[in-house]
Amino acid sequence: MAILVQFAIGLIFGLGLMVSGMSNPAKVLNFLDIGGIPAGTWDASLAFVMAGAVAVTFIGFSRVLKLARPFFAERFYLPTRSDIDPRIVAGPAIFGVGWGLAGFCPGPALTALGFGSASAFIFVAAMCAGMVLARFVAHWPSLTRFVTPADPLET
């Protein structure tokens, strides 16, 4: 049952990406292209995606987190760190360059697989390789002093 629910949630997320236009890399790149503002080619739509998503999540989280526990789990797994370490800047900087190159971030890239284009498969294969590499490096013993040993990937 929990598995089916998570499939349905992924489906809603994917539909949101499609309805919002985020599943179209051209739209994402035109949003990131602030140099296109003078020429009128800048597409501000994605600011509205963010606004809608954050508004709903902000209200929803505050309600849900008042519950004693999640429906299918024993407790909530919330990130607890608040320190600004080099990784919280370096990682997003690297990700941002990749995002700006192709116009895909991880969610829309996965949803793009369902569109059936070869380009999406190439991007996702490379993305998965990058993810595996990052986890491998993060778990590398000599580097664990840079990360929280319990969960190197904690948000």
Residues 135-154 that bind other proteins (CB under 8 A): 135, 137-139, 151, 153-154
Greatest Cα pair distance, the chain, in angstroms, is 53
Q: Is 37 in the site for other proteins (CB under 8 A)?
A: no
Q: How far apart are CB 38 and other proteins at their closest, in Å?
A: 10
Given 44, 140, 144, 145, the residue binding other proteins (CB under 8 A): 44
22 within 8 A of 106, measured Cβ to Cβ: no
Q: How far apart are CB 68 and other proteins at their closest, in Å?
A: 11
d(CA 80, CA 145): 18
d(CA 87, CA 22): 26
- Give the residue carrying structure tokens 């580097």: 143
Given 66, 79, 145, 149, the residue binding other proteins (CB under 8 A): 79
Q: Is 88 in the site for other proteins (CB under 8 A)?
A: yes
**Per-residue x/- mask for other proteins, residues 14 to 33, rule CB under 8 A?**
xxxxxxxxxxxxxx-xx-xx
Query: Tokens in use for 133?
Result: 């590499």
Q: How far apart are CB 142 and other proteins at their closest, in Å?
A: 16
Nearer to other proteins by Cβ, of 84 and 145: the residue is 84
Amino acid residing at 35: G
Given 67, 141, 142, 149, the residue binding other proteins (CB under 8 A): 67
d(CA 78, CA 75): 9
Report how far apart, in Å, the C-alpha atoms of 87 and of each of 90, 118, 154 are: 5, 32, 11
